[in-house]
Structure 1
Amino acid sequence: MYFLLSSILVSITYVHCLPVGKDCNVIESVVPEECRSIKGENQTDVWIKKEQCREVFEDGYIQWSERMLADPNLTANLDVVYHVEGQATRTRRSAERCPIFTESYIKNATGIQQRSISPWRYLVDFDNNRHPKQLVVAECLCNGCINLETGFETIDGNAHSKPIMWLVNVIKDNVSTKIPITTGCSCVASINQFAS
Structure 2
Amino acid sequence: MGFVQILPLLLSSLFLVHSLEYEKECRKPIPEEHLLKRMKMPPLQILLSQKLKNFHKAIPPCPKWTPRFLEQSDLKDRSLSPWTFKVNHKKGRVPEAIVEAVCLCRGCINPSNGTEVHYSVSVPVYGSLLVLHRKECPGGQVRYHKEHVRVAVGCTCAAPVLI
TM range (shorter): 0.5 to 0.7
Which consecutive residues of structure 2, in runs of 5 or more, have no partner in the other structure? 1-14, 135-143
Is the CA contact 1:165–1:181 (under 8 Å) kept in the aligned structure 2? yes
- Work out the percentage of aligned pairs sharing the same amino acid: 23
The Cα offsets for residues 142-196 of structure 1, whole Å up to 9 and x where unpaired, read as: 11100011211111xx31100011111100233111111110001112243xx9x
Confirm or deny that 1:66 pairs with 2:46.
yes
Select the residue among 131, 136, 161 that pairs with 1:170. Answer: 131
The letter for the 1-side match of 2:154 is G
Runs of 4+ in 1 over 2 A off after TM superposition: 39-43, 50-56, 63-70
Confirm or deny that 1:153 pairs with 2:137.
no
The Cα offsets for residues 68-90 of structure 1, whole Å up to 9 and x where unpaired, read as: 467x7xx6xx963xxxxxxxxxx
Cα 1:66/1:113, change in 2 over 3 Å: farther
Confirm or deny that 1:136 pairs with 2:99.
yes
Q: Secondary structure at the residue paired with 1:96? A: coil
After superposition, the CA RMSD in angstroms is 3.6
Is the CA contact 1:53–1:171 (under 8 Å) kept in the aligned structure 2? no
1:1-196 alignment runs, 5 A limit: 41-43=25-27, 54-56=37-39, 58-60=40-42, 63-68=43-48, 80=56, 93-94=57-58, 96-109=60-73, 111-155=74-118, 158-173=119-134, 174-192=144-162
Cα 1:104/1:46, change in 2 over 3 Å: closer
The Cα offsets for residues 12-39 of structure 1, whole Å up to 9 and x where unpaired, read as: xx7xxxxxxxxxxxxxxxxxxxxxxxx9
Which consecutive residues of structure 1, in runs of 5 or more, have no partner in the other structure? 1-6, 15-38, 81-92
Equivalent pairs counted in the alignment come to 133
The letter for the 2-side match of 1:41 is E
Q: CA deviation at 1:46?
A: 7.0
Larger Rg: 1
Aligned mates of 1:187, 1:114 — CA distance in 2: 13
Q: CA deviation at 1:64?
A: 3.7
Is the CA contact 1:53–1:170 (under 8 Å) kept in the aligned structure 2? no
Q: CA deviation at 1:53?
A: 5.6
TM-score (norm 2): 0.65
- Residue 9 of structure 2 aligns with which residue? none
Aligned mates of 1:51, 1:66 — CA distance in 2: 10
Aligned mates of 1:118, 1:79 — CA distance in 2: 24
Aligned mates of 1:40, 1:102 — CA distance in 2: 57
